[in-house]
Amino acid sequence: MWGPCALYSKVQCNENGGKKMSAKTILTTHRDVDFDPETFISTYYSSVAGHEEDGDLIKFFLDGLSDAFKSGTIVGAQILDIGTGPIPHTAFCAAPWFEEITLSDFSQKNLDFLQKWKNGEINHMDPILNYLVQVDKSSSTVEKRQDELKRKIKNIVKCDVTQPNPVVSTPVDGVVFDAITSSLCLESASVTLDDYEKSVQNLSGLLKPGGHLVLVGVLEETFYRVGDFRFKCAYIRKDQLQDIWEKEGFEILSLKDFNDTCSSHKAGNDFSDFQNAFVMVAKKREY
């Protein structure tokens, strides 16, 4: 479900006295060594059903992404996916509408995993892509859509949204994109609300005025778990989310609310403590 794209220090003490925690409760903040792509996929993305404690969360995300792009109103030459993780489903939805795609992530493990997938060494997305083709009502096959995506991916690069210039790789350094997508990255790359707001400012600089943003995220979450590691997240409410993006010069075009549309999840479960989720489409204002 969640993927790291920013670097913080590992924490091995609990909040109640500083004792070292057991392997199954280790708190960490996005050290690359702690994140395992295969465990992440098997836990959250092995099927559209996702993790049983999350309810219809993955389906909600996929439906929202499909709806955002299939209207054909979000188009352009170049699109950047921030914090892709090991599964480029967001880029899959965007691919028919753009000429060139850049994937990015903080984790070298995820970048290597994506490159192996692009090279045909890994095939791990069939359940997710089959569902997306179905909800898109696409006349194309999964194989053709996946081939199109791979063909359009021109760069797979390192990113760090905590930096003023999040993407400094030579092929795309200085590029301002027509659209940006990001799924479950900004809150997981942050610990505080101030961190989140700074990441929004950094990301905004990569998008052209008038360009579109498609953002997938969770609300009121402090951690998520991959294997034996619990990754810290910035706690953010829906009203705070809206205020931050509007303050940074974005017009929110749509904001779909998980709790308004989908079955309930087990709030506070062992794998995450998110209380709500969203799919947002916004447009950067032109001044």
Tell me which range, 44-48, 98-102, 135-139, 171-175, is most confidently predicted by mean pLDDT.
Answer: 98-102
For the sheet with 177-183, list strands across it.
153-158, 98-105, 76-82, 177-183, 207-219, 276-284, 250-257
* Dist. CA 284–CA 250, nearest whole Å: 4
Locate 25 and state its tokens.
């409760």
Residue 22: the pLDDT is 37
Structure-token pair, residue 128: 């997710």
Percent of the chain exceeding pLDDT 70 equals 83
What are the tens digits of pLDDT across the range 86-140?
999 999 999 999 999 999 999 999 999 999 999 999 988 888 899 999 998 878 8
Over the stretch 75-88, which tens digit does the pLDDT of each residue have?
A: 999 999 999 999 99
Given this model, what pLDDT does residue 7 score? 33
Dihedral over Cα of 257, 261, 265, 271: its sign: negative
More confident residue, 227 or 72: 72
Rounded CA separation 266/264 (Å): 7
Backbone angles phi and psi of 3, in degrees to 5: -140, 140
pLDDT value at position 9? 28
Average pLDDT, the chain: 84
Look at residue 5 and tell me whether its pLDDT is greater than 60.
Answer: no
What's the average model confidence in pLDDT over 8-16?
31
Residue 67 pLDDT level (bands cut at 50, 70, 90): very high
219-246: pLDDT as tens digits: 999 988 877 778 888 999 999 999 999 9
**For the ranges 50-64, 69-83, 244-258, which has the lowest average pLDDT?**
50-64
pLDDT in tens, 179-212: 999 999 999 899 899 999 999 999 999 999 999 9
User: In this predicted structure, what is the pLDDT of residue 286?
Assistant: 93
d(CA 51, CA 125): 16
- With cut-offs at 50, 70 and 90, classify the pLDDT of residue 53: low
What CATH code is assigned to 23-284? 3.40.50.150
pLDDT value, residue 269: 61
For position 54, what pLDDT does the model report?
A: 53
Q: What per-residue confidence (pLDDT) applies to 18?
A: 36
What does the chain come to in residues? 287
- The residue type at 77: A
